[in-house]
Amino acid sequence: MSDRVVVRIPASTRHVALVRATATSLAALLDFTYDRLMDLHIAIDEICSRILATSAPPATRLEVTFHVEDGGLRIEASGDSPLGTKAPFLTSWSKSILDSVTDRIEVQDLDGVACAVFSVAKG
């Protein structure tokens, strides 16, 4: 299966639950274990919060793309505003969290806008 699902939401923490709900539905189709589903939720929360915290001016929209792959999900998340220069996109704490709950994490700078790409296998 190689489906792609795109979720665009207002850049607000109260809408991140919609991204988690989409992730839950896709994870159910792939028979994710409960632990891996929780890892996926933690990764989504952390990435979305870092996008909201580091965008300057503040992002107005978040876009999260789920790529359904054999054995797991690859997720790309970005805002619609450039990175600010005051803080790194991933702090050492964020990097530690993401390294423990994802199989791969990469942050790309796409014309000044951070795009985080991470993978979570079904476990």
Q: Is the pLDDT of residue 12 over 60?
A: yes
Type of residue at 95: K
DSSP designation for 15: G
State the chain's maximal CA–CA distance in angstroms.
41
pLDDT at 72: 94
Cα four-point dihedral sign 21, 74, 9, 50: positive
Assign residue 89 the CATH number of its domain.
Answer: 3.30.565.10
pLDDT, tens digit (0-9, with 9 covering 90-100), for 32-64: 999 999 999 999 999 999 999 988 889 999 999
Type of residue at 25: S
- Encoding tokens for residue 55? 């965008």
Cβ neighbours around 112 below 10 Å, total: 8
- Encoding tokens for residue 109? 């700078």
Looking up tokens 């806008």 gives: 113
The residue ranking higher by pLDDT, 83 or 106, is: 106
Range of the domain at 45: 4-121
How many domains does one find in the chain?
1
